[in-house]
Structure 1
């Protein structure tokens, strides 16, 4: 492994820096959080300007941003090994949901890509796969030596292609 990568692992020399204490306890990188806040703030300013100085869309977006931030903070507290173990199961569940769309999907705006759980939620399985495909690739490459061999890249490409088809 590259020394630069190892230094940034939990317990490495980078994590002992001035950002290490609280950031390590709550599993957050405050530099990344600060950059996310700057980008999000800029987006809210652009939205405010684009909607003609109306506050309702900005408040709605701010509420969604707040919920997303809470979800991010919560997900950061879950040990990474949980995601590693869940990745194959989530991948196969996502594939099953994509297959269900072929038979039970309903149409919205001219495309039948939605599944409906009556009285609970309407969702697109492809949105779930946007999160699960990187997870399955991380799971696949987790135990393999880097740089990956051609056969490993081939199987990774297959894992990416299956949900696309």
Structure 2
């Protein structure tokens, strides 16, 4: 039974994140969605809000898979957090060649530190390749419509949070 570890900030969960999560569920029996917590950053959503939005987004898209994920927080090395949760796979989404260059470096370093944790690259779907959580936050903060970039529960939460 393979457990995959899918780390990120998920602030907010985007359609790209959801696409990669759905793919990860095809390669693992269980996926641990791991929200990185960095004390130096001020996120739009709290950990609890992000965790709930991830669950709601998956439940809306693929309700039968909700029991196949756990949502946790971590503030240490990804490979250490993956090991602590029994994961043998580390999921990384790729949008383009720039992502690949960066992710290959990270995969190499992670493999040196944890040869028992295999990095798996999953390509973003065509529709979600340009999406980044940073751009979504910026567009929403300026009053733009981000409905095409995030799942419906996230859109509702963003409108509520930004009072739009």
Bigger RCO (CA 8 Å, 6+ sep): 2
Q: TM-score range by the shorter chain?
A: under 0.3
Normalized per residue, the structure richer in strand is: 2
TM-score (norm 1): 0.24
Normalized per residue, the structure richer in helix is: 1
Rg comparison, structure with higher value: 1
